[in-house]
Amino acid sequence: MSKVLICGGGVIGLCTATMLGRDGHCVTVLEADPAGQTMAAVDGWNSWERPGVAQFRQPHNLSSRFRMISDQELPGLTDDLLRTGCVWVDYLDSRSLPPAITDRAPRPGDEALRFVTGRRPIVEWAVAAMAQAAPNVTIRRGIRVRELITGASAIPGVPHVTGVRTTSGEEIRADLVIDAMGRRSPACEWIISAGSRSPIEEAEDSNFAYFTRYFSGHQRPRRMGRALTPMGLFSILTLDGDNDTWSITLYTSSKNKAMRALRDTATFHRVVSACPRQAHWLDGEPITPVLLMAGVIDRYRRFVVDGQPVITGFAAVGDAWACTNPSAGRGLSVGLLHAQVLRNVARRHIDDPEAFSREYDAETESQVGPFYRNQIAADRARIAEMNALEEGMPVPAPNPVMAKLLVASSQDADVLRGMIEIAMCVALPQDVIARPRVAAKLAELDGYPLSPDPNIIDRYRMAALLGG
Ligand SMILES: Cc1cc2nc3c(=O)[nH]c(=O)nc-3n(C[C@H](O)[C@H](O)[C@H](O)COP(=O)(O)OP(=O)(O)OC[C@H]3O[C@@H](n4cnc5c(N)ncnc54)[C@H](O)[C@@H]3O)c2cc1C
């Protein structure tokens, strides 16, 4: 079995380590942040400092796909999450279904779309405990990787990674080095410093700003409609949390300076109160101020250029490979899918660096890439819409298929299930619209004007809400 080094002990680094350790590889995780004090999971929210993960206390939702993969590959994790206070969420619960849907009966397969979720520190605490107990896995915290070490090439002229050097000067050797250093991973610079061709890298600011407040209360708010609802100049996201908590997020274009007023709690509450399906989510005790996050980068990297690996002995997983604006709450689910792909390719090719690099690239592109590209397309369309609304310009025409899916999902039980599968990373839009019942429903909407959501707040009302 091989020696594997994982740089970065966030959720995806730890899940990857657990899967590879269970396959018998000798896995070491190097995590830059120091170990937290020993604590109960629920204290992690208050006391676990994670400067290496800027979004640590930002809203996080798991999804059905996360649960499906973890039940298959990391058995016991769902129960561990529940033990730490995470909760079941069922978007098909009959009380949550849109009122216009007449067929409200449960169906075979609905159970698979339920998922367990909680706040990020609590989820990560459960994942860290699982990895700590996994066979063949060693986690070293407080160790920052500084650069890659290379050795004899597996492909002539292409650097081959044989280990890493830490900031303390320690050299650690491995057969495979995995980059799980998240969205700010410096690995591309390290690869170029190792003498490689430049990997493909695309990066741009997603241009969204997030305003989030967490609440606690004895009764979780009843969900009326979707978790994520576009409201014109902003979108509202309501997420269930662990241990009687939940969060409300308003996100908007970061170009819209007037929206910065949402940092003020009174303004935040005024705007949420104007959202009829979400206002009751304010009925709890606030446990944080309004938390702001902006400057979230969309970034994608590829390590095979013109059909040739730029480096071997190296693989990037999770956010270190690609990350997007997180409004759809998919990073952990797509990352876990990517970890599964990595583990599968390692089963076939870990002893053959060239075959490993080529196949990992191909499988990443075909299985994981579509989730990234769909998200980027949706984000660009939404930000263009928000900016046009703010400037009082005509709103760009929405993607007609997605617009019809959105309308039809509030009327039809088949389309609703398809939309949930898309949101939960279980299916891609192209798969859902190809289903005969969905296609027939969408065809019914051909030629009919799609009326906008009557609850949307226009710019004049928004200005009044922001101004008090
Ligand atoms: C505002 C916001 C909200 C989000 N909401 C959701 C959501 O609702 N649902 C969802 O699924 N996803 C969400 N995401 C995305 C999610 O946070 C990421 O997809 C996820 O954290 C990726 O996990 P990771 O393990 O790949 O990287 P990270 O969690 O970023 O972990 C990287 C780790 O690498 C360590 N590290 C960095 N450099 C070094 C080094 N040189 N040496 C050693 N260690 C190093 C860091 O300390 C860190 O622990 C959100 C993201 C943001 C920004």
Give the nearest ligand 1 atom to 124 CA.
29
pLDDT in tens, 147-159: 999 999 999 999 9
Describe the chain by its helix, strand, coil percentages, rounded to 5: 40, 25, 35
Expressed in angstroms and rounded, the spacing between residue 10 Cα and the centre of ligand 1 is 6
* pLDDT for 144: 98
36 and 170, same domain (yes or no):
yes
**Token pair listed for 112:** 């698979």
Does 436 map to a domain?
no
Does 144 map to a domain?
yes
47 and 154, same domain (yes or no):
yes
Q: Is 123 in the pocket of ligand 1 (CB under 6 A)?
A: no
CB atoms within 10 A of CB 82: 15
Does 420 map to a domain?
no
* pLDDT for 327: 75
**428 pLDDT tier (thresholds 50, 70, 90):** very high
Instruction: Judge contact between 25 and 3, C-beta under 8 A.
Output: yes
155 and 283, same domain (yes or no):
no
Domain boundary among 348, 379, 410: 379
Q: Is 118 in the pocket of ligand 1 (CB under 6 A)?
A: no
Interstrand relation of 26-31 and 137-141 (parallel, antiparallel or unpaired): parallel
What's 225's domain CATH number?
3.30.70
Nearest CA-CA partner of 177 in 315, 311, 303: 315
Q: Is 241 in the pocket of ligand 1 (CB under 6 A)?
A: no
Domain boundary among 379, 401, 432: 379
Does 44 map to a domain?
yes
Does 79 map to a domain?
no
pLDDT in tens, 255-301: 999 999 999 999 999 999 999 999 999 999 999 999 999 988 899 99
What's 188's domain CATH number?
3.50.50.60
* DSSP letter for each residue of 368-399: IHHHHHHHHHHHHHHHHHHHHHHHTPPPPPPP
Q: Is 11 in the pocket of ligand 1 (CB under 6 A)?
A: yes
335 and 368, same domain (yes or no):
yes
289 and 176, same domain (yes or no):
no
Strand partners, 115: 89
**Token pair listed for 424:** 């939960």
- Residue in this structure with the two tokens 């922001």, named with its chain if needed: 466
321 and 195, same domain (yes or no):
yes
Phi and psi, residue 271, nearest 5°: -70, -45
Q: Is 16 in the pocket of ligand 1 (CB under 6 A)?
A: no
Nearest CA-CA partner of 408 in 371, 443, 372: 443
Task: Give the whole-angstrom CA distance, residue 368 versus residue 128.
Answer: 24
> How far is CA 432 from each of CA 288, 405, 420, 423, 439, rounded to the nearest angstrom?
39, 9, 10, 11, 8
Nearest residue by C-alpha to atom 9 in ligand 1 = 329
Does 88 map to a domain?
no
44 and 125, same domain (yes or no):
yes
pLDDT in tens, 134-182: 999 999 999 999 999 999 999 999 999 999 999 999 999 999 999 999 9
123 and 197, same domain (yes or no):
yes
Does 231 map to a domain?
yes
267 and 126, same domain (yes or no):
no
* pLDDT for 153: 97
Show the DSSP H helices in 203-287 as ranges.
Answer: 265-273
Q: Is 224 in the pocket of ligand 1 (CB under 6 A)?
A: no
Does 83 map to a domain?
no
Give the nearest ligand 1 atom to 12 CA.
25
Q: Is 370 in the pocket of ligand 1 (CB under 6 A)?
A: no
Q: Is 182 in the pocket of ligand 1 (CB under 6 A)?
A: yes
Is it the case that residue 39 has pLDDT exceeding 70?
no
Is it the case that residue 38 has pLDDT exceeding 70?
no
Task: Give the whole-angstrom CA distance, residue 125 versus residue 128.
Answer: 5
Task: Give the whole-angstrom CA distance, residue 306 versus residue 277.
Answer: 50
285 and 220, same domain (yes or no):
yes
Task: Give the whole-angstrom CA distance, residue 324 versus residue 457.
Answer: 26
* pLDDT for 74: 98
What burial letters (b/e) apply to 314-350, b meaning 16+ CB within 10 Å? Answer: bbbbbbbbbbbbbbbbbbbbbbbbbbbbbbbbbeebb
Q: What domain range includes position 273?
A: 208-293
25 and 150, same domain (yes or no):
yes
* Domain total of the chain: 2
Interstrand relation of 3-7 and 176-179 (parallel, antiparallel or unpaired): parallel
Is it the case that residue 66 has pLDDT exceeding 70?
yes
Task: Give the whole-angstrom CA distance, residue 418 versus residue 423.
Answer: 9
Phi and psi, residue 75, nearest 5°: -55, 140
User: Please, what is the Cα angle at 338 between 335 and 342, to 5 degrees?
Assistant: 140
Q: Decide which of 119 and 205 is more confident.
A: 119
Q: Is 10 in the pocket of ligand 1 (CB under 6 A)?
A: yes
Domain boundary among 293, 314, 339: 293
**Token pair listed for 371:** 């989730």
Nearest CA-CA partner of 275 in 222, 235, 219, 326: 235
Nearest CA-CA partner of 371 in 433, 423, 416: 423
Q: How many CA atoms lie within 13 A of 96 on its CB side?
A: 18
167 and 216, same domain (yes or no):
no
Task: Give the whole-angstrom CA distance, residue 148 versus residue 162.
Answer: 8
Task: Give the whole-angstrom CA distance, residue 273 versus residue 276.
Answer: 7
CB atoms within 10 A of CB 306: 7
**Token pair listed for 418:** 């398809």
3 state DSSP class of 316: strand
Among 18, 117, 183, say which to mutate for ligand 1: greatest number of ligand atoms within 8 Å of CB. 183
* pLDDT for 429: 92
